């Protein structure tokens, strides 16, 4: 078991990583259950996590009444409509500011639940129980919550930290391999952006992580969370530029996701993996990173079965079109967009001198390259 504190004045919490934690749920979440034992315990899940874990949850909390709010899997649940339904449901249950709502699912369930809890009666508590690798190593920690709108993904949201995060690596057993790889992209990201030794460990042990070897997976999750906790503690609201480093690969990736309609053609983690390769190659083109290191990053991505070549996606577009998607990025500062680039493996920086025209020309080259 690993317990990793996220140190934030007045809003500190622990991330607990324990194989089998879901079965021992009562032990872990005891302090977050309603004090009145006849009060409902609200769980938000999607149809998959409800089907898979309902029995485990209700067995572990057998002396409580668990109530479920169930959404369809996928980004569609991060909508005004579902948010309204969820907040109405929580109000009907009589949830107070002292209560906690439990988010059992991937990033969609966590983001939606977190946002609902941020605005319910001006803020009630919530506990994240992430069930995808991507949510376990990234989205469940750090308090970013949001829904999507017509104008784009995650454009309406707030920072609202969970009261606790409980990670059970056993639940990854049922995660489809493609989702596992997509989550692994975020694991790789921590090595590339700030921890060369972890990157080297992943070069050696990445296949074990993807094969869900218990020791490898626990080490990968714990190392990722420690890195994220340290960054969030330093720059909770992404103001100093430190937390922005977690967006490595996301600006390129977001443009690719937008171009493919945020669909199953390219999962978020796959877009981040390819975006990381593009960020590395662009850094090398600027002379910031060696070509050898850019190649090592591309190889690590490719070896894990993630996309490493934009040309292989068969997209019918040019660099200017991809850059147009970037202009809608919420990180745009006037006419410029800060890019997370690399000086070295394990050493990322925020570059504010990148011109979008130059990025478009670079992408034209990448689209034709292979
Ligand atoms: N997923 C990036 C962050 O939490 O800041």
For 211-220, the pLDDT digits (tens) are: 999 999 999 9
Question: What's the pLDDT tens digit per position in 93-118?
Answer: 999 999 999 999 999 999 999 999 99
| 329, pLDDT greater than 90 | no
Concerning whether 144 is annotated as a catalytic residue, the answer is yes
Determine whether the shortest distance from the Cβ of 189 to ligand 1 is under 6 A: no
Contact assessment for residue 46 and residue 109, using Cβ atoms and an 8 Å cutoff: yes
Q: What percentage of the chain carries pLDDT values higher than 90?
A: 93
Determine the pLDDT at residue 127.
Answer: 98
For a pocket test of ligand 1, which of 6, 134, 141, 142 has the largest count of ligand atoms closer than 8 A to its C-beta? Answer: 142
Q: How far apart are CA 277 and CA 295, in angstroms?
A: 8
Confidence of residue 202 (pLDDT cuts 50, 70, 90): very high
Determine the pLDDT at residue 332.
Answer: 83
Average pLDDT estimate for 127-148: 98
Determine the pLDDT at residue 335.
Answer: 76
Q: Pick the range with the lowest mean pLDDT from 151-155, 221-225, 268-272.
A: 151-155
Q: Pick the range with the lowest mean pLDDT from 12-26, 224-238, 304-318.
A: 304-318
**Which residue's alpha carbon is nearest to atom 2 within ligand 1?**
246
Question: What's the pLDDT tens digit per position in 52-61?
Answer: 999 999 999 9
Determine the pLDDT at residue 233.
Answer: 98
Closest CA to 336 of 357, 321, 317: 357
Quick one: which atom of ligand 1 is closest to the CA of 142? 4
Average pLDDT estimate for 326-354: 91
For a pocket test of ligand 1, which of 106, 128, 140, 144 has the largest count of ligand atoms closer than 8 A to its C-beta? Answer: 144
| 330, pLDDT greater than 90 | no
Core vs surface per residue 126-152: b (16+ CB within 10 A) or e: bbbbbbbbbbbbbbbbbbbbbbbeeee
Q: pTM of this prediction? A: 0.96
- Computed over every residue of the chain, the mean pLDDT equals 96
Core vs surface per residue 239-257: b (16+ CB within 10 A) or e: eeebbbbbbbbbbbbbbbb
Determine the pLDDT at residue 181.
Answer: 98
Average pLDDT estimate for 334-338: 85
Concerning whether 186 is annotated as a catalytic residue, the answer is yes
Q: What percentage of the chain carries pLDDT values higher than 70?
A: 100
Longest dimension (CA), the chain: 64
| 336, pLDDT greater than 90 | no
Determine the pLDDT at residue 183.
Answer: 98
**Which residue's alpha carbon is nearest to atom 3 within ligand 1?**
246
Determine the pLDDT at residue 267.
Answer: 95
| 369, pLDDT greater than 80 | no
Determine the pLDDT at residue 370.
Answer: 57
Contact assessment for residue 249 and residue 278, using Cβ atoms and an 8 Å cutoff: yes
Q: State the DSSP H helix or E strand holding residue 216, giving kind and residue range, or none if neither.
A: helix 214-234
């Amino acid at each position: 078991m690993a317990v990793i504190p996220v140190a934030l004045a007045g809003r500190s919490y622990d991330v607990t990583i324990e194989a089998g934690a879901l079965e021992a749920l009562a032990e872990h979440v005891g302090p977050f259950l309603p004090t009145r034992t006849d009060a409902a315990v609200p769980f938000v899940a999607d149809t998959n996590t409800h089907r898979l874990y309902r029995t485990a949850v209700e067995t572990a909390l057998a002396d409580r009444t668990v109530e479920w709010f169930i959404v369809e899997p996928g980004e569609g649940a991060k909508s005004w409509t579902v948010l309204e339904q969820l907040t109405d449901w929580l109000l009907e249950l009589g949830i107070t500011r002292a209560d906690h709502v439990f988010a059992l699912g991937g990033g969609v369930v966590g983001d939606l639940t977190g946002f609902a809890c941020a605005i319910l009666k001006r803020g009630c508590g919530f506990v994240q129980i992430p069930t995808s690798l991507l949510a376990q190593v990234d989205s469940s920690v750090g308090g970013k919550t949001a829904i999507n709108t017509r104008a784009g993904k995650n454009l309406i949201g707030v920072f609202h930290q969970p009261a606790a995060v409980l990670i059970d690596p056993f639940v990854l057993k049922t995660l489809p391999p493609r989702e596992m790889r997509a989550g692994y992209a975020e694991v790789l990201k921590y090595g590339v952006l700030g921890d060369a030794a972890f990157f080297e460990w992943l070069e050696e042990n990445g296949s074990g992580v993807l094969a869900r070897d218990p020791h490898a997976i626990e080490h990968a999750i714990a190392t990722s969370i420690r890195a994220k906790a340290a960054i969030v503690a330093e720059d909770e609201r992404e103001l100093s530029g430190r937390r922005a480093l977690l967006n490595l690969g996301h600006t390129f990736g977001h443009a690719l996701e937008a171009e493919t309609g945020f669909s199953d053609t390219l999962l978020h983690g796959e877009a981040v993996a390819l975006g990381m390769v593009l960020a590395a190659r662009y850094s090398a083109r600027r002379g910031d990173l060696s070509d050898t290191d850019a190649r090592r990053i591309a190889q690590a991505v490719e070896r894990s079965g993630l996309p490493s070549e934009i040309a292989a996606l068969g997209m019918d577009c040019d660099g200017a079109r991809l850059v147009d998607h970037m202009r809608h990025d919420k990180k745009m500062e006037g006419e410029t967009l800060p890019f997370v680039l690399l000086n070295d493996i394990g050493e990322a920086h925020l570059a504010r001198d990148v011109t979008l025209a130059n990025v478009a020309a670079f992408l034209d080259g990448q689209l034709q390259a292979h």
